[in-house]
Structure 1
Amino acid sequence: MLILERAIKDDAQRLAEIQKASFDEESKHFNNNEIGGPSGYDSPSWQEEMMQNCEYFKVLLDGEIIGGVLILIESSEAHNLGRIFIDPNFQNQGLGMRVIEEIEGIYSGCNKWWLDTPSWSVKNHHFYTKCGYSKVGEEGGLYIFEKTI
Protein backbone atom coordinates (compact mmCIF):
# COMPACT_ATOMS: atom_id res chain seq x y z
CA MET A 1 0.00 0.00 0.00
CA LEU A 2 1.37 3.41 -1.03
CA ILE A 3 0.96 6.21 1.53
CA LEU A 4 2.20 9.79 1.72
CA GLU A 5 2.97 11.17 5.18
CA ARG A 6 4.62 14.35 6.37
CA ALA A 7 8.35 13.82 6.70
CA ILE A 8 9.81 14.32 10.17
CA LYS A 9 13.34 14.94 11.44
CA ASP A 10 13.89 11.22 12.11
CA ASP A 11 13.35 10.56 8.37
CA ALA A 12 16.06 12.97 7.20
CA GLN A 13 18.93 10.48 6.96
CA ARG A 14 16.90 7.90 5.03
CA LEU A 15 15.43 10.53 2.68
CA ALA A 16 18.93 11.87 1.93
CA GLU A 17 20.14 8.33 1.18
CA ILE A 18 17.24 7.66 -1.20
CA GLN A 19 17.63 11.03 -2.91
CA LYS A 20 21.34 10.43 -3.41
CA ALA A 21 20.74 6.97 -4.88
CA SER A 22 17.95 8.23 -7.15
CA PHE A 23 19.69 11.33 -8.49
CA ASP A 24 23.09 9.62 -8.82
CA GLU A 25 21.52 6.78 -10.82
CA GLU A 26 19.83 9.24 -13.18
CA SER A 27 22.92 11.39 -13.69
CA LYS A 28 25.16 8.34 -14.18
CA HIS A 29 22.99 7.17 -17.08
CA PHE A 30 22.15 10.47 -18.76
CA ASN A 31 24.82 13.01 -17.74
CA ASN A 32 28.01 11.46 -19.15
CA ASN A 33 28.67 9.37 -16.02
CA GLU A 34 28.84 12.49 -13.84
CA ILE A 35 27.40 11.74 -10.43
CA GLY A 36 25.43 14.45 -8.69
CA GLY A 37 22.13 16.05 -7.97
CA PRO A 38 20.45 19.26 -6.95
CA SER A 39 21.43 21.32 -3.94
CA GLY A 40 21.24 19.41 -0.66
CA TYR A 41 20.12 16.16 -2.24
CA ASP A 42 22.56 14.10 -0.16
CA SER A 43 22.42 16.11 3.07
CA PRO A 44 20.28 15.09 6.06
CA SER A 45 20.46 18.65 7.44
CA TRP A 46 19.11 20.01 4.14
CA GLN A 47 16.23 17.53 4.37
CA GLU A 48 15.43 18.82 7.87
CA GLU A 49 15.56 22.42 6.66
CA MET A 50 13.15 21.63 3.82
CA MET A 51 10.76 20.01 6.29
CA GLN A 52 10.52 23.45 7.91
CA ASN A 53 10.33 25.49 4.68
CA CYS A 54 8.00 23.55 2.39
CA GLU A 55 5.51 20.72 2.25
CA TYR A 56 7.73 17.63 2.51
CA PHE A 57 6.17 14.17 2.29
CA LYS A 58 7.80 10.80 2.63
CA VAL A 59 6.53 8.07 0.32
CA LEU A 60 5.82 4.82 2.13
CA LEU A 61 5.26 1.46 0.49
CA ASP A 62 4.10 -1.20 2.92
CA GLY A 63 5.51 0.93 5.75
CA GLU A 64 8.98 1.39 4.20
CA ILE A 65 10.23 4.81 3.08
CA ILE A 66 10.91 4.52 -0.65
CA GLY A 67 10.94 8.18 -1.67
CA GLY A 68 9.83 11.71 -1.07
CA VAL A 69 8.22 14.75 -2.61
CA LEU A 70 8.66 18.47 -1.85
CA ILE A 71 5.98 21.01 -2.70
CA LEU A 72 6.52 24.76 -2.63
CA ILE A 73 3.24 26.65 -2.28
CA GLU A 74 3.47 29.81 -4.38
CA SER A 75 -0.19 30.75 -4.20
CA SER A 76 -3.49 29.00 -3.59
CA GLU A 77 -3.68 28.18 -7.30
CA ALA A 78 -0.02 27.59 -8.29
CA HIS A 79 2.42 25.15 -6.73
CA ASN A 80 5.97 24.12 -7.56
CA LEU A 81 6.74 20.43 -7.56
CA GLY A 82 10.16 21.14 -6.06
CA ARG A 83 11.40 17.59 -6.01
CA ILE A 84 10.14 14.05 -6.34
CA PHE A 85 12.33 10.99 -5.90
CA ILE A 86 11.82 7.25 -5.68
CA ASP A 87 14.44 4.69 -4.65
CA PRO A 88 15.90 3.22 -7.88
CA ASN A 89 14.90 -0.27 -6.65
CA PHE A 90 11.24 0.82 -6.85
CA GLN A 91 11.30 2.84 -10.07
CA ASN A 92 9.50 1.85 -13.28
CA GLN A 93 6.56 0.38 -11.36
CA GLY A 94 4.12 3.28 -11.70
CA LEU A 95 4.76 4.50 -8.15
CA GLY A 96 5.98 7.97 -9.18
CA MET A 97 2.78 8.52 -11.16
CA ARG A 98 0.73 7.40 -8.17
CA VAL A 99 2.63 9.89 -5.97
CA ILE A 100 1.85 12.71 -8.43
CA GLU A 101 -1.85 11.71 -8.42
CA GLU A 102 -1.88 11.65 -4.58
CA ILE A 103 -0.25 15.10 -4.37
CA GLU A 104 -2.70 16.54 -6.87
CA GLY A 105 -5.51 15.10 -4.74
CA ILE A 106 -4.11 16.58 -1.53
CA TYR A 107 -3.82 19.99 -3.22
CA SER A 108 -7.01 19.73 -5.28
CA GLY A 109 -7.53 23.52 -5.20
CA CYS A 110 -4.34 24.04 -7.15
CA ASN A 111 -4.87 24.34 -10.88
CA LYS A 112 -1.30 25.05 -12.03
CA TRP A 113 1.78 23.00 -11.25
CA TRP A 114 5.30 23.65 -12.48
CA LEU A 115 8.76 22.17 -12.04
CA ASP A 116 12.23 22.28 -13.46
CA THR A 117 14.52 19.39 -14.32
CA PRO A 118 17.96 19.15 -15.93
CA SER A 119 18.01 19.35 -19.72
CA TRP A 120 19.99 16.08 -19.86
CA SER A 121 17.47 14.15 -17.72
CA VAL A 122 15.72 12.23 -20.49
CA LYS A 123 14.01 9.80 -18.11
CA ASN A 124 12.52 12.69 -16.10
CA HIS A 125 11.28 14.40 -19.28
CA HIS A 126 9.45 11.23 -20.28
CA PHE A 127 8.02 10.77 -16.77
CA TYR A 128 6.71 14.33 -16.45
CA THR A 129 5.20 14.24 -19.94
CA LYS A 130 3.48 10.95 -19.03
CA CYS A 131 2.08 12.70 -15.92
CA GLY A 132 0.51 15.46 -18.06
CA TYR A 133 3.23 18.12 -17.88
CA SER A 134 4.39 20.04 -20.95
CA LYS A 135 7.76 21.64 -21.52
CA VAL A 136 7.24 25.41 -21.63
CA GLY A 137 10.78 26.75 -21.55
CA GLU A 138 14.46 26.44 -20.82
CA GLU A 139 16.56 28.31 -18.31
CA GLY A 140 20.21 27.80 -17.38
CA GLY A 141 20.47 24.11 -18.29
CA LEU A 142 16.99 23.33 -16.93
CA TYR A 143 13.78 22.51 -18.73
CA ILE A 144 10.66 24.10 -17.26
CA PHE A 145 7.50 21.97 -17.28
CA GLU A 146 3.93 23.02 -16.42
CA LYS A 147 0.63 21.29 -15.93
CA THR A 148 -2.76 22.95 -15.82
CA ILE A 149 -5.58 21.01 -14.19
Structure 2
Amino acid sequence: MNLYIEKAKMEDIDELDNIQKAAFKRLYAIYKDEKSPYLKGVDEMIKWLNLDKILYWKIYYNGHLCGGIAYYKKSEGEYYLARLYIHPQYQSKGIAKQVILLCERKILDAKRYMLDFPIDQIANRKCYESAGYIDTGMREVINSKLTLAIYEKVVGYTNYLYVRQMPKK
Protein backbone atom coordinates (compact mmCIF):
# COMPACT_ATOMS: atom_id res chain seq x y z
CA MET A 1 0.00 0.00 0.00
CA ASN A 2 1.50 3.32 -1.07
CA LEU A 3 0.21 5.57 1.71
CA TYR A 4 1.64 8.84 3.00
CA ILE A 5 0.57 12.03 4.73
CA GLU A 6 1.49 15.68 4.32
CA LYS A 7 0.69 18.65 6.47
CA ALA A 8 -2.54 20.27 5.27
CA LYS A 9 -2.23 23.82 3.94
CA MET A 10 -4.62 26.64 3.11
CA GLU A 11 -4.48 25.86 -0.61
CA ASP A 12 -5.78 22.32 0.13
CA ILE A 13 -8.96 23.42 1.88
CA ASP A 14 -11.44 23.32 -1.01
CA GLU A 15 -10.39 19.84 -2.09
CA LEU A 16 -10.34 18.56 1.50
CA ASP A 17 -13.79 20.07 2.07
CA ASN A 18 -15.17 18.21 -0.96
CA ILE A 19 -13.67 14.92 0.24
CA GLN A 20 -14.98 15.47 3.79
CA LYS A 21 -18.50 16.14 2.49
CA ALA A 22 -18.42 13.01 0.34
CA ALA A 23 -17.11 10.93 3.26
CA PHE A 24 -19.73 12.09 5.78
CA LYS A 25 -22.79 12.43 3.50
CA ARG A 26 -24.06 8.90 4.24
CA LEU A 27 -23.71 9.32 8.01
CA TYR A 28 -25.44 12.69 7.97
CA ALA A 29 -28.36 11.15 6.07
CA ILE A 30 -28.69 8.51 8.81
CA TYR A 31 -28.21 10.62 11.96
CA LYS A 32 -29.22 14.18 11.01
CA ASP A 33 -26.61 15.43 13.48
CA GLU A 34 -26.26 19.20 13.34
CA LYS A 35 -22.61 18.91 14.44
CA SER A 36 -21.80 16.52 11.60
CA PRO A 37 -18.57 17.07 9.68
CA TYR A 38 -20.79 16.97 6.59
CA LEU A 39 -22.11 20.39 7.63
CA LYS A 40 -18.69 21.74 8.61
CA GLY A 41 -16.55 23.28 5.96
CA VAL A 42 -13.75 25.56 5.02
CA ASP A 43 -14.31 27.90 7.99
CA GLU A 44 -13.57 25.09 10.43
CA MET A 45 -10.59 23.94 8.37
CA ILE A 46 -9.12 27.45 8.29
CA LYS A 47 -9.54 27.68 12.06
CA TRP A 48 -7.85 24.30 12.52
CA LEU A 49 -4.91 25.26 10.33
CA ASN A 50 -4.36 28.34 12.47
CA LEU A 51 -4.41 26.53 15.82
CA ASP A 52 -1.18 25.20 17.29
CA LYS A 53 -3.11 22.49 19.13
CA ILE A 54 -4.37 20.90 15.90
CA LEU A 55 -2.24 18.55 13.81
CA TYR A 56 -3.91 18.33 10.39
CA TRP A 57 -2.67 16.14 7.56
CA LYS A 58 -3.76 15.25 4.02
CA ILE A 59 -3.87 11.54 3.21
CA TYR A 60 -2.50 10.22 -0.07
CA TYR A 61 -3.10 6.72 -1.38
CA ASN A 62 -1.23 5.62 -4.52
CA GLY A 63 -0.50 9.26 -5.28
CA HIS A 64 -4.12 10.44 -4.96
CA LEU A 65 -5.40 12.79 -2.27
CA CYS A 66 -8.08 10.65 -0.62
CA GLY A 67 -8.74 12.15 2.80
CA GLY A 68 -7.70 14.03 5.88
CA ILE A 69 -6.91 13.40 9.52
CA ALA A 70 -6.73 15.83 12.43
CA TYR A 71 -5.60 15.41 16.01
CA TYR A 72 -6.33 17.89 18.77
CA LYS A 73 -3.80 18.17 21.60
CA LYS A 74 -6.00 18.24 24.71
CA SER A 75 -3.19 18.43 27.25
CA GLU A 76 0.42 17.36 27.64
CA GLY A 77 0.67 13.86 26.14
CA GLU A 78 -3.07 13.54 25.43
CA TYR A 79 -4.51 13.69 21.91
CA TYR A 80 -8.03 13.43 20.55
CA LEU A 81 -8.55 12.09 17.03
CA ALA A 82 -10.86 14.92 16.01
CA ARG A 83 -11.47 13.94 12.41
CA LEU A 84 -10.62 11.13 10.03
CA TYR A 85 -12.23 11.00 6.64
CA ILE A 86 -11.57 8.97 3.54
CA HIS A 87 -13.34 9.55 0.20
CA PRO A 88 -15.92 6.76 -0.33
CA GLN A 89 -14.10 5.37 -3.38
CA TYR A 90 -11.06 4.68 -1.16
CA GLN A 91 -12.89 3.29 1.88
CA SER A 92 -12.59 -0.38 2.93
CA LYS A 93 -8.97 -0.62 1.76
CA GLY A 94 -7.33 -0.47 5.22
CA ILE A 95 -6.25 3.15 4.71
CA ALA A 96 -7.80 4.46 7.94
CA LYS A 97 -6.01 2.00 10.22
CA GLN A 98 -2.67 2.52 8.48
CA VAL A 99 -2.93 6.31 8.54
CA ILE A 100 -3.77 6.28 12.26
CA LEU A 101 -0.66 4.22 12.97
CA LEU A 102 1.41 6.46 10.69
CA CYS A 103 0.24 9.61 12.49
CA GLU A 104 0.87 8.08 15.90
CA ARG A 105 4.50 7.48 14.91
CA LYS A 106 4.80 11.21 14.16
CA ILE A 107 3.29 12.36 17.48
CA LEU A 108 6.28 11.74 19.68
CA ASP A 109 4.98 13.07 23.02
CA ALA A 110 1.70 11.12 23.07
CA LYS A 111 0.82 9.05 26.10
CA ARG A 112 -2.91 8.64 25.39
CA TYR A 113 -5.21 8.95 22.38
CA MET A 114 -8.99 9.20 22.43
CA LEU A 115 -11.64 9.15 19.73
CA ASP A 116 -15.36 8.73 19.27
CA PHE A 117 -17.58 7.32 16.55
CA PRO A 118 -21.23 6.28 16.04
CA ILE A 119 -21.68 3.17 18.15
CA ASP A 120 -23.59 1.33 15.43
CA GLN A 121 -20.86 1.75 12.79
CA ILE A 122 -19.25 -1.70 12.95
CA ALA A 123 -16.59 -0.97 10.31
CA ASN A 124 -15.35 1.99 12.35
CA ARG A 125 -15.21 -0.12 15.51
CA LYS A 126 -13.22 -2.85 13.74
CA CYS A 127 -10.83 -0.28 12.28
CA TYR A 128 -10.13 1.43 15.60
CA GLU A 129 -9.80 -1.82 17.53
CA SER A 130 -7.37 -3.16 14.92
CA ALA A 131 -5.29 0.02 15.47
CA GLY A 132 -5.12 -0.76 19.21
CA TYR A 133 -7.99 1.31 20.61
CA ILE A 134 -10.27 -0.10 23.30
CA ASP A 135 -13.79 0.77 24.36
CA THR A 136 -13.87 2.92 27.51
CA GLY A 137 -17.53 2.07 28.06
CA MET A 138 -18.37 5.78 27.96
CA ARG A 139 -21.14 6.93 25.63
CA GLU A 140 -22.34 10.31 24.45
CA VAL A 141 -25.92 10.61 23.25
CA ILE A 142 -26.12 13.24 20.52
CA ASN A 143 -29.75 12.76 19.48
CA SER A 144 -32.37 10.02 19.29
CA LYS A 145 -30.55 8.41 16.34
CA LEU A 146 -26.90 8.95 17.31
CA THR A 147 -24.86 7.69 20.24
CA LEU A 148 -21.09 7.93 20.20
CA ALA A 149 -18.77 5.28 21.64
CA ILE A 150 -15.62 6.64 23.29
CA TYR A 151 -12.42 4.67 22.66
CA GLU A 152 -8.87 5.19 23.89
CA LYS A 153 -5.36 3.97 23.36
CA VAL A 154 -2.70 4.29 26.02
CA VAL A 155 0.79 4.33 24.54
CA GLY A 156 2.98 1.49 25.77
CA TYR A 157 0.10 -0.23 27.58
CA THR A 158 -1.43 -3.51 26.58
CA ASN A 159 -4.80 -4.29 28.04
CA TYR A 160 -4.52 -7.99 28.73
CA LEU A 161 -8.04 -8.10 30.11
CA TYR A 162 -9.46 -7.02 26.79
CA VAL A 163 -9.62 -10.23 24.77
CA ARG A 164 -12.15 -10.77 22.03
CA GLN A 165 -13.30 -14.35 21.97
CA MET A 166 -14.25 -16.05 18.76
CA PRO A 167 -17.79 -17.47 18.71
CA LYS A 168 -18.01 -21.23 19.17
CA LYS A 169 -19.16 -23.23 16.17
TM-score (norm 2): 0.76
CA contact (8 A) 1:77 1:112 kept: yes
Q: Which has the larger radius of gyration?
A: 2
CA contact (8 A) 2:119 2:149 kept: yes
| Cα distance in 2 between the residues matched to 1:14 and 1:84 | 15
Q: Match for residue 162 of structure 2? A: none
CA contact (8 A) 1:68 1:86 kept: yes
Residue 143 of structure 1 aligns with an amino acid whose one-letter code is: A
Q: Match for residue 152 of structure 2? A: 146
**Structure 2 residues not aligned, in runs of 5+:** 142-146, 156-169
Q: SS at 2:49's partner residue?
A: helix
The Cα offsets for residues 26-57 of structure 1, whole Å up to 9 and x where unpaired, read as 455xx37x598625654122212211121111
Q: Match for residue 81 of structure 1? A: 81
| Cα distance in 1 between the residues matched to 2:60 and 2:86 | 10
CA contact (8 A) 1:26 1:121 kept: no
**Superposition deviation, residue 84 in structure 1:** 0.7
Q: Give the aligned length.
A: 146
| Cα distance in 2 between the residues matched to 1:102 and 1:144 | 21
Change (3 A) 1:39 1:92: closer
Residue 12 of structure 2 aligns with an amino acid whose one-letter code is: D
TM-score (norm 1): 0.85
CA contact (8 A) 2:28 2:36 kept: no
CA contact (8 A) 1:20 1:37 kept: no
Change (3 A) 1:122 1:36: farther
List structure 1 segments (4+ residues) > 6 angstroms apart after TM superposition: none
Q: RMSD value over aligned CA atoms? A: 2.2
Q: SS at 2:58's partner residue?
A: strand
| Cα distance in 2 between the residues matched to 1:36 and 1:12 | 21
| Cα distance in 2 between the residues matched to 1:61 and 1:111 | 28
CA contact (8 A) 1:17 1:42 kept: no
Task: Kindly indicate which of the two structures has a greater share of residues assigned to helix.
Answer: 1
**Superposition deviation, residue 3 in structure 1:** 1.5
**Superposition deviation, residue 109 in structure 1:** 2.7
Q: Match for residue 105 of structure 2? A: 105
